[in-house]
Amino acid sequence: MRIATIAGDGIGPEVISAAMQVLNTAAPGDGFQYEVTDFPFSAAHFLETGHVLDDDDIAELKKYDAIFLGAVGGLPNDPRLAGGVIEKGILLKLRFELDQYINLRPVTLYPGIDTPLKDKTSEHINFVCVRENTEDLYCGVGGFVRKGTAQEVSNQTMVATRFGAERCIRYAFELAKTRERKQLTLVHKTNVLTFAGDTWFRTFKAVAEDYPEVTTDYHHVDACCMYMVAKPELYDVIVVPNMFGDIITDLGAAIAGGMGIASSGNLNPDGTAPSMFEPVHGSAPDIAGQNLANPIATIDSLGLLLRETGRIKGDKAAIACGERIGAAVKAVTPKFAGKSLDRSGYGTDEIGKMVADAL
């Protein structure tokens, strides 16, 4: 398997390095063969060279089987990075150009991890968010009128296509079908977003006809936030458009213990281009360079990379290796009992070694 890594900015290189230590340890046991190539795309690289990521870079990355990304982005208010030059220019460009239309984000309370939710256990917090990843408010459609004047108007358009909603919803039904509970909840805001929400709602109803074994429900996104805190056991699989999915998955990370645990895959399920795997968190400039970041989210994203890419490419050794990494993470999380996941006192490299030792 040829893996392209983009370690990125801030804690990105630290968490990727911990994950690579885990991969080096895990691979031989399963006879998994891989090759890693590092790419420099990041805010730091842009500030140094003026280069973000162009079409030639995309063509180069398409030659790989998978992309493994740490995090990109600088300080939120850096004027040199204004206009989302890095987030749009790297992350969203990759997700869009490589047609990674599914953003898979599990919300799982692991053994030993403390949730801030009272009286909730692993039994209550065990669901997956299927976030649409190529449409919605993320399309960059909109603009200004009379910018900089007292009459300034800006708009940002929420784009929903039948094609985009349907392929995402269908993926979510297929996933729900394979799970024990077989339950799928659509999350939107159809009471206010009466155009985009309506497209999603009707598409959801139509696709549901093909999956009689899956039970379905619908929640408005505001109520979903309340239920995720008060009754997370309602959820098995959630399907959600891009912007709401971004927001509820940070909430999902928090109820599962913190940003240091939340993994994700940007999937091109058809295999027409590589999928990309990354932790849900960002570059965390506040703790960068201090060996404080928890790399579990990144290590778990690596497990997901091996399992998902293995499935798409028919690589059984990769799947086995990904499964062992997932199991090793679960063997290590009890060591966080009684500690804060994101400020545990363990070093980034130390946690990487703990998982490698468990392997």
CA dihedral 267, 269, 275, 279 (to 10 degrees): 30
Instruction: State how far the Cα of 251 lies from the Cα of 159, in Å rounded to an integer.
Output: 24
Among 22, 109, 240, 280, binds ligand IPM (CB under 6 A): 280
Q: Applying CB under 6 A, does 52 fall inside the site for ligand IPM?
A: no
Taking the CA atoms of 158, 305, 276 and 336 in sequence, report the sign of the dihedral they define: positive
Ranges of H-type helices in the chain: 12-30, 43-49, 55-61, 85-86, 93-97, 162-178, 196-208, 221-230, 242-255, 296-313, 316-332, 348-358
Q: What residues between 148 and 177 interact with ligand NAD by CB under 6 A?
A: none
Residues whose CB falls within 8 Å of the CB of residue 63, separated by 6 or more in sequence, listed in order = 2
Q: Applying CB under 6 A, does 282 fall inside the site for ligand NAD?
A: yes
Residue, CB closest to ligand IPM: 87
Phi, psi (rounded to 5 degrees) for 221: -65, -35
Beginning with the edge strand found earlier in the chain, give each strand of the sheet holding 66-71 in spatial order: 35-39, 2-8, 66-71, 275-279, 263-267, 102-108, 126-132, 237-240, 183-188, 215-220
Among 99, 246, 300, 308, binds ligand IPM (CB under 6 A): 246
DSSP 252-304: HHHHTT-GGG-EEEEE-TT-SS-EEEEESS---TTTTTTT-S--HHHHHHHHH
Name the residue nearer to ligand IPM (CB basis): 87 or 174: 87
Phi, psi (rounded to 5 degrees) for 106: -70, 145
Question: In the complex, what is the shortest distance from the CB of residue 345 to ligand NAD, in angstroms, rounded to a whole number?
Answer: 12
Q: Applying CB under 6 A, does 297 fall inside the site for ligand IPM?
A: no
Site string for ligand NAD, 33-72 (x = CB under 6 A): --------------------------------------xx
Among 19, 39, 66, 73, binds ligand NAD (CB under 6 A): 73
Catalytic residue positions? 138, 189, 222, 246, 250
CA 301 to chain centre: 8
Among 99, 132, 236, 246, binds Mn ion (CB under 5 A): 246
Question: In the complex, what is the shortest distance from the CB of residue 37 to ligand NAD, in angstroms, rounded to a whole number?
Answer: 19
Q: What residues between 319 and 358 interact with ligand NAD by CB under 6 A?
A: 342
Name the residue nearer to ligand NAD (CB basis): 8 or 232: 8
Phi, psi (rounded to 5 degrees) for 12: -50, -55
Q: Applying CB under 6 A, does 262 fall inside the site for ligand NAD?
A: no
Q: Applying CB under 6 A, does 132 fall inside the site for ligand IPM?
A: no
Question: In the complex, what is the shortest distance from the CB of residue 304 to ligand NAD, in angstroms, rounded to a whole number?
Answer: 14
Question: In the complex, what is the shortest distance from the CB of residue 316 to ligand IPM, in angstroms, rounded to a whole number?
Answer: 30
Binding footprint of ligand NAD on the chain (CB under 6 A): 11, 71-74, 76, 87, 91, 259-260, 278, 281-287, 293-294, 297, 342
Binding footprint of Mn ion on the chain (CB under 5 A): 246
Binding footprint of ligand IPM on the chain (CB under 6 A): 73, 87, 91-92, 246, 280
